[in-house]
Amino acid sequence: MNKNKLLLIISVLILILGGCAKKASYSSDEEDNTLKIYTYDSFVTWGLAEHTIPAFEEKYNCKVTLESVGDAGDLLNLLVLEKDNPQADVAIGVDNTMLRRALSEKLFVEYKSETLKSIPERLHFDKTYRLTPYDYGYFAFIYDSSIVDNVPTTFGQIQDGKWKNQIVISDPRTSTPGLGLLLWSAAAFGENGFGHFWRSIKNNILTVSTSWDEAYSMFLAGEVPIVLSYSTSPAFHIEYENTTRYKAFIPIEGAFMQIEGSGIVAGTRKLSLAQKFIDFTLTKEFQQHIPTTQWMYPVNDKVTLPDSFKNIPVPEKILNSNIKSLEDRNRIEVLIDRWVEIMSK
């Protein structure tokens, strides 16, 4: 090989390697120190974002862009739609009712925050650590005590015909409370009793809303006296309206616990900054705002709850473990299909 040809080959290799190095540099983490987060609407509208995101930006000298996309069901659907070309770095709001789908779709990367050591083990709902818990609560029926005299105490009493068109719930296909009630009923009655429950309660449901916000707005507008929500919802009215008019009841058959999590979206180029954000959600600095913005319980038990939480009913029995076999057998979609069939007749 002559000298000139050898020099030409070396020059070409240098250009190729230089181009590769430049490409690797372009795709590196933290290039512009901006973190894009997808979340559900109430994270923004109820104030948790306002109280926490600026503190994170200042702490890490970064910029956070937030995109609220509806309810948590809408959030998960968007992540699935974009999974081959992810647009977000972090997602906030995927809960334990959606865990199986989130894992099967491979939407998040594993990250076990060191701060999780201080969070009670019972709240570690994802043992693969794709999702990290940040708050939790119990689904409940909220009623207007100025209208409802004989408060139901069991699921059986909720099925009574006297409650015809008196209840509003949200859709399990788009709303986490809606899906929570679906799984709650399956946990309480099993697959055999599931259909009977929904056929019995169907006429008592005035409407099925697309989101929790829509359902609760109907309730506050006086369109119905009972709404599916959370046991902690009355705390909001105590805190800001100084009224105990709205109260919660959990059927004595047992409660269903929702645990909400945040996760790092698979494909992010901001891995280090995303990990810092997950860590931040577990700190007291973040957690202290959850009770009076999300109206849920913080997972960090070092946070002092406000007085408005003092008389909130705490369930003695939790039914979540009753549905593990349903999740393992991939039965959630089957339950949703059965629910749609029952409700559409």
Q: Are strands 167-170 and 205-209 parallel, antiparallel or unpaired?
A: parallel
Can you give the pLDDT at residue 153? 94
Residue 60 pLDDT more than 60? yes
Residue 322 pLDDT more than 90? no
Residue 73 near residue 101 (C-beta atoms within 8 A): no
Q: Which region, left, alpha or beta, applies to residue 157 given φ > 0 means left and ψ of -120 to 50 means alpha?
A: alpha
Q: How far apart are CA 265 and CA 277, in angstroms?
A: 12
Q: How far apart are CA 100 and CA 97, in angstroms?
A: 8
For 134, the token pair is: 């940040």
Q: Are strands 226-230 and 167-170 parallel, antiparallel or unpaired?
A: parallel
Strand partners, 144: 246
193's CB contacts (< 8 A; 6+ apart) are none
Can you give the pLDDT at residue 273? 98
Q: How far apart are CA 97 and CA 2, in angstroms?
A: 69
For 318, the token pair is: 């939790």
Q: Is the dihedral of CA 141, 73, 317, 330 positive or negative?
A: positive
Q: How far apart are CA 93 and CA 96, in angstroms?
A: 10
Strand partners, 39: 68, 92
Average of per-residue pLDDT across 276-302: 97
CA angle 128, 134, 136 (to 5 degrees): 100
For 72, the token pair is: 């948590």
Residue 2 pLDDT more than 90? no
**Closest by Cα among 233, 151, 139, 219 to 186:** 139
Q: Is CATH 3.40.190.10 correct for 34-136+258-307? A: yes
* DSSP H helices in 202-232: 212-220
At 96-108, the pLDDT tens digits run 988 988 999 999 9
Per mean pLDDT, which range of 126-140, 185-199, 222-236, 310-324 is the poorest?
Answer: 310-324
Residue 78 pLDDT more than 90? yes
Q: Is the dihedral of CA 137, 212, 284, 262 positive or negative?
A: positive
Classify 144 as helix, strand or coil.
strand
Tokens 């809303």, located at residue = 209
At 113-134, the pLDDT tens digits run 999 999 999 999 999 999 999 9
Mean pLDDT taken over the chain = 89
Question: To the nearest whole percent, how much of the chain has pLDDT over 70?
Answer: 89
Amino acid letter, residue 335: L
Residue 20 pLDDT more than 70? no
CATH number of the domain at 137-257+313-344, please?
A: 3.40.190.10
Query: Do 34-136+258-307 and 137-257+313-344 come out as alike in CATH topology?
Result: yes
Strand partners, 136: 259, 297
Q: Where are the domains of the chain?
A: 34-136+258-307, 137-257+313-344
- Helix, strand, coil percentages (3-state) for the chain, rounded to 5, are 45, 20, 35
Show the 3-state SS of 291-331.
CCCCCCEECCCCCCCCHHHCCCCCCCCECHHHHHHHHHCCC
